[in-house]
């Protein structure tokens, strides 16, 4: 799973789920509030830009997962919802 760096000026970016790709743009972890992403894994100099998860009825007419970036005051479009990704252990 990776956040796609498609548009560096966007308030959110699409998320791709793939075990084959790793572009080094961040790291995922699980805490008490569910699945999280950090754009600045331990040992990197820049701050974390993660601002939460959002799901939208967007490009393909089906729900799509996006990662929000912190620091943007973008309103959530009416076709989107802020969500929490909860971990389901199986």
Domain count, the chain: 1
Q: State the average pLDDT over residues 64-71.
A: 85
Residue 90 lies in a domain: no
pTM of the predicted model as reported, rounded to 2 decimal places? 0.69
Q: State the average pLDDT over residues 14-42.
A: 68
Query: Which tokens in the block code for residue 16?
Result: 């791709």
Residue 68 lies in a domain: yes
Q: Are the C-beta atoms of 26 and 37 separated by less than 8 Å?
A: yes
Domain extent at residue 19 = 2-83
| Confidence (pLDDT) at 88 | 82
Q: State the average pLDDT over residues 13-18.
A: 72
Residue 16 lies in a domain: yes
Residue 89 lies in a domain: no
Residue 15 to residue 18: CA distance in whole angstroms: 10
Tell me the pLDDT of the chain averaged across its residues.
75
Mention every residue, 6+ apart, whose C-beta is less than 8 A from residue 41: 26, 27
How many beta carbons lie within 10 A of that of residue 54, not counting itself? 21
Confidence of residue 82 (pLDDT cuts 50, 70, 90): very high
């Amino acid at each position: 799973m990776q956040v796609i760096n498609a548009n560096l000026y966007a308030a959110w970016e699409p998320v791709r789920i793939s075990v084959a790709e790793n572009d080094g743009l961040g790291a995922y972890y699980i805490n008490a509030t569910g699945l999280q992403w950090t754009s600045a894994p331990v040992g990197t100099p820049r701050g974390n830009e993660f601002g939460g998860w959002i799901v939208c009825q967007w490009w393909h007419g089906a729900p799509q997962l996006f990662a929000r970036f912190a620091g943007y005051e973008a309103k959530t479009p009416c076709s989107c919802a802020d969500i929490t990704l909860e971990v389901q252990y199986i």
